[in-house]
Amino acid sequence: MRDGTPTTGDAVTCTGLRYSFGQTRAVDGVDLTVTAGEVFGLLGPNGAGKTTAIRCVTTLLPVPSGMVRVFGHDAATEKMAVRRLLGYVPQQLSADASLTGRENVSLFARVFDVPRRERAGRVGQALEAVGLADAADRMAGTYSGGMVRRLELAQALVSAPRLLMLDEPTIGLDPIARTSVWEHIMAVRAATGMTVLVTTHYMDEAEQYCDRVALMHKGRVRALGTPERLIADLRERRGDGSVPTLEDVFRDVAGSGLDEEGGEFRDVRRTRNTASRVG
């Protein structure tokens, strides 16, 4: 699965990661490590800073050197090396509606330097891996929300990334499409062994699919571990025998006032925008 090149076992290392938009401290000192091969979930309500953290790892937002490393490469000084290792699916729907599914994937094969003789084969396999082989030559504008997400997954897969970064891959989808998107992610991961870093604010998904999770609130990581461990810890702390959910853990670590503070207006509006585009 992994090509025998010697790298550290860590896919992503963030050391004291900070990022501010003017006065807003979107990410405020995050330390975390994603181990190669795992599915790591970054959880938190709207406005917690998940997207900002992801964008720092993807080299989209400038960070000082030493803060973010991807398979040992510094996101500040080795941008191209980092990008070659990444498959990135942003929070907005990012497939081009005026191209067919196949053309959308081909573009990413081209910009990742897939040679011409391999291109059709790779693009075909990527589309097949996400179950879009039959719809490949339709315009992406005619796809349903779940299909667009799977198309974006194919775009990310075509370059054989070692780290797949998915920002709210199931936001705004109906339950069936959500399950389908996750099943394709898990199948691809099983077949390729790639590391997956995913953000979501659906706690149930994280509990079901993630090996480890970090609970983020107001730019900081409040708890980190396997979902089972976090739940077991809270159960012990409560000591009343009831079985808490990951959501209860979140309420516990984030403190009170979650409902009132969960996301400013613009965060909610953004989320709604994405959701309505998925429709």
Partner 1 sequence: MSAAPATPPPASADSTGAGGLDLLLVPPRARTGWRVLPARVAAMCVVELQKLRHDRTELYTRAIQPALWLLIFGETFTRIKLIPSDGIPYLDYLAPGIIAQSTMFIAIFYGIQIIWERDSGVLTKLLVTPTPRAALVTGKAFAAGVKAMIQAVVVMVIAALLGVSMTWNPLRLAGVIVAVLLGSAFFSCLSVTIAGIVLTRDRLMGIGQAITMPLFFASNALYPTTAMPAWLQYVSAVNPLSYQVDALRGLLLGVPSHLPLDFAVLFAATAIGITAASVLLGRLAR
Ligand X SMILES: Nc1ncnc2c1ncn2[C@@H]1O[C@H](COP(=O)(O)OP(=O)(O)O)[C@@H](O)[C@H]1O
Q: Which is nearer to ligand X, 45 or 145 (CB)?
A: 45
| Sole window of 6-14, 37-45, 190-198, 214-222 interacting with partner 1 (rule: CB under 8 A) | 190-198
**Is residue 58 a contact residue for partner 1 (CB under 8 A)?**
yes
User: Could you say which of 121, 174, 228, 237 contacts partner 1 (CB under 8 A)?
Assistant: 121
CB 198 within 8 A of CB 41: yes
HEC states along 102-163?
Answer: HHHHHHHHHHCCCCHHHHHHHHHHHHHHCCCCCCCCCEHHHCCHHHHHHHHHHHHHCCCCCE
Q: Which is nearer to ligand X, 47 or 87 (CB)?
A: 47
CB 103 within 8 A of CB 143: no
CB 170 within 8 A of CB 182: yes
Residue sitting closest to Mg ion (CB): 51
Q: Which does 267 bind (CB under 5 to 8 A by kind): Mg ion, ligand X, partner 1, none?
A: ligand X
CB 70 within 8 A of CB 163: yes
Q: Which is nearer to partner 1, 89 or 206 (CB)?
A: 89
The contact pattern for ligand X, residues 23-62, with x = CB under 6 A and - = no contact, is -x-x-----------------x-xxxxxxx----------
| Sole window of 8-16, 55-63, 195-203, 238-246 interacting with partner 1 (rule: CB under 8 A) | 55-63
Q: What CA–CA distance (Å, rounded) separates 255 from 235?
A: 16
Q: What's the maximum distance between 2 C-alpha atoms anywhere in the chain?
A: 63
Q: What CA–CA distance (Å, rounded) separates 251 from 233?
A: 14
CB 222 within 8 A of CB 215: yes
**Is residue 272 a contact residue for ligand X (CB under 6 A)?**
no
**Is residue 188 a contact residue for partner 1 (CB under 8 A)?**
yes
**Is residue 262 a contact residue for partner 1 (CB under 8 A)?**
no
Q: Where are the alpha helices (DSSP H) in the chain?
A: 50-57, 79-85, 101-111, 116-129, 145-157, 175-192, 203-209, 227-238, 246-254, 258-261, 265-278
Residues 252-271 that bind ligand X (CB under 6 A): 264, 266-267
**Is residue 107 a contact residue for partner 1 (CB under 8 A)?**
yes
User: Site residues (CB under 8 A) for partner 1?
Assistant: 1, 3, 58-62, 80, 83-84, 86, 88-100, 103, 106-115, 118, 120-122, 124-126, 128-129, 131, 133, 139, 155, 157-162, 187-188, 190-192
